[in-house]
C-alpha cells in the first residue's frame, strides 16, 4: 500500500479539520469527564445529522442509499480527525456504521437497503446488536432465542445480553434459531427487529464505571415481518460472520483512532502532573506509541484488502487483540503512576477520576467483540495455519 496521502485526501482532511474546529458543540468542549456526556439523545441525533450533511458519514457506502462511494481512506481520515479534535461520535458509530450498515449493504434486498440505510446514516434510527445470550457468548452458534414462522410473520421469544446501547436503539440486528432440528450452525437466521415492537423489554446493566452501556433484552412473542429477514432462512451464521468481520476488521480503524486519542491524553497527563522524568511514564509512552504505529499499519493492510472489494479477513483479529492489550496496559500504567491518590478524586475533572474510569472500562476490551482467548485461536488457526486446539 502507498502510504502517501493523495492531494484530494489531504484537501479532504483539512476540510474535516476546519469544519470540526468550527462546529463541535460548546457543551461537549467543557464536559467534565470521559463518560460524562453533556448532550441529550436529541442533541446527539442533531449532531449526527450535521456530520452527515457536511459529507462526513457513509463515505464509502453506495450513493443510491445516501453514501458517497469514496475510497475507504476517506472514512479513515474522518475517524482520525474526530479523535484528534476530541469531537463527539455519530450516534450510530458503535453499531450502525461499524457493522450493521455494512452487513445490510452486503446481504440486504434493494427494498431493505433503500428503506434502512439513509435513516441509519442520518441518525434517525439507532441500531443495536442481539447476538450474545446467557449461554451463548463465545460459542455464538449455541443461540437459543427462537423465531417461529406464522404466515408472513416471525414470532420471536428469548433473551439477549451485553447489547450495547439497546436502551437507546430503534432497531436491532438479531440472531435467532429458526430450524431447531438442524445442526446448530445451520439452524440460525438473521432478523432485523423493531425495538419498539410490543413484547420487547430492555433492562440496562450498570457497569463498574457506573454507566449503563450494556443491556439485557427480552423478547416475548415479538412479531417480526418475514420481509425483515437478512439473507435466506438458515443463513444466519453466514450473515453473523459478516458482522463479526466488520466488528473486528473495518471497525479497527476506529480502534486506532481511539488509541491515538488515549496516547495523546496520556502524554498530556504526564506533562500536567510533572511525571515526565519518571522512567515508568517514559517507557510506557514509548511502548504505547509503538503499539499505536503497529496497529495503524496493520489497519492499512486491512484497508488495502477492503479497497480491493474484499471483506476483512481473519487478520482483523490481530488488530482487535493489539488494541485491547495496548489500551489496557496504558490505563493500568496511569493508575500505577497516580498511586494511592487514584482512589480519592475530588471531582470528575481530576486525572484520577478520568483514569480510574478509563481503566475500569478497559477491562471489557478483551471481552467485547470476541474474547482475546477466542481471537488468539483465530490468529493461530486461520492466520498462522497452526493445528486446531480442539
Q: Would you say how long the chain is, in residues?
A: 390
Sequence-distant (≥ 6) Cβ neighbours of residue 42 within 8 angstroms:
none
Question: How many helices (H) and strands (E) would you count in the chain?
Answer: 12, 8
Q: Which of 247, 260, 315, 358 is catalytic?
A: 247
Strand partners, 217: 160, 202
| Locus of grid cell 498462522 | 384
**Which long-range contacts does 377-382 make (Cβ < 8 Å, 24+ apart)?**
378/314, 378/317, 379/314, 379/317, 379/318, 379/321, 382/314, 382/317
Q: Is 5 a catalytic residue?
A: no
Strand partners, 173: 129, 192
Q: Are 213 and 156 in contact (CB under 8 A)?
A: no
Q: How many CB atoms lie within 10 A of CB 347?
A: 9
Q: CA-to-CA distance for 122 and 49, rounded, in angstroms?
A: 5
Q: What is the CA radius of gyration of the chain?
A: 21
Sequence-distant (≥ 6) Cβ neighbours of residue 270 within 8 angstroms:
276, 278, 281, 285, 337
Q: Exposure pattern of 310-335 as b/e (b: 16+ CB <10 Å)?
A: eebbbbbbbbbbbbbebbbebbbbbb
The three-state secondary structure class of 95 is helix
Q: Are 365 and 328 in contact (CB under 8 A)?
A: yes
Cα distances (angstroms) measured from residue 376 to each of 228, 262, 264, 371, 381:
34, 24, 28, 9, 9
Residues catalogued as catalytic: 247
Amino acid at each position: 500500500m502507498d502510504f502517501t496521502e493523495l492531494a484530494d485526501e489531504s484537501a479532504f482532511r483539512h476540510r474535516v479539520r476546519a469544519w470540526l474546529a468550527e462546529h463541535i458543540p460548546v457543551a461537549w468542549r467543557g464536559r467534565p469527564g470521559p463518560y460524562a456526556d453533556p448532550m441529550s439523545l436529541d442533541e446527539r441525533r442533531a449532531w449526527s445529522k450535521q456530520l452527515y450533511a457536511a459529507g462526513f458519514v457513509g463515505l464509502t457506502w453506495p450513493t443510491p442509499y445516501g453514501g458517497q462511494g469514496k475510497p475507504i481512506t476517506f472514512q479513515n481520515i474522518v475517524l482520525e480527525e474526530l479523535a484528534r479534535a476530541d469531537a463527539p461520535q455519530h450516534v450510530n458509530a458503535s453499531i450502525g456504521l461499524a457493522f450493521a450498515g455494512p452487513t445490510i449493504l452486503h446481504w440486504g434486498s434493494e427494498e431493505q437497503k433503500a428503506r434502512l440505510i439513509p435513516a441509519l446514516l442520518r441518525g434517525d434510527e439507532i441500531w443495536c446488536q442481539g447476538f450474545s445470550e446467557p449461554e451463548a457468548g463465545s460459542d455464538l452458534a449455541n443461540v437459543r432465542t427462537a423465531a417461529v414462522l406464522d404466515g408472513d410473520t416471525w414470532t420471536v421469544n428469548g433473551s439477549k445480553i451485553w447489547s450495547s446501547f439497546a436502551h437507546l436503539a430503534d432497531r436491532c440486528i438479531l440472531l435467532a434459531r429458526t430450524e431447531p432440528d438442524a445442526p446448530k450452525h445451520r439452524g440460525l437466521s438473521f432478523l432485523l427487529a423493531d425495538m419498539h415492537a410490543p413484547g420487547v423489554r430492555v433492562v440496562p446493566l450498570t457497569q463498574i464505571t457506573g454507566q449503563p452501556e450494556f443491556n439485557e433484552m427480552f423478547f416475548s412473542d415479538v412479531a417480526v415481518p418475514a420481509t425483515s429477514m437478512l439473507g435466506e432462512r438458515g443463513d444466519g451464521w453466514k450473515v453473523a460472520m459478516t458482522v463479526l468481520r466488520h466488528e473486528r476488521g473495518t471497525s479497527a480503524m476506529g480502534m486506532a483512532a481511539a488509541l491515538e486519542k488515549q496516547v495523546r491524553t496520556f502524554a498530556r497527563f504526564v506533562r500536567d502532573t510533572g511525571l515526565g522524568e519518571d522512567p515508568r511514564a517514559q517507557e510506557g509512552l514509548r511502548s504505547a506509541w509503538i503499539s499505536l504505529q503497529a496497529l495503524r499499519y496493520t489497519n492499512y493492510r486491512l484497508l488495502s484488502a477492503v479497497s480491493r472489494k474484499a471483506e476483512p479477513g481473519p487478520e482483523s483479529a490481530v488488530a482487535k487483540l493489539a488494541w485491547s492489550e495496548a489500551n489496557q496496559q496504558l490505563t493500568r500504567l496511569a493508575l500505577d503512576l497516580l498511586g494511592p491518590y487514584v482512589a480519592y478524586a475530588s471531582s470528575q475533572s481530576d486525572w484520577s477520576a478520568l483514569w480510574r474510569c478509563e481503566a475500569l472500562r478497559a477491562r471489557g476490551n478483551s471481552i467485547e467483540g470476541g474474547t482475546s482467548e477466542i481471537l488468539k485461536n483465530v490468529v493461530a488457526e486461520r492466520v498462522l495455519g497452526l493445528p486446531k486446539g480442539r
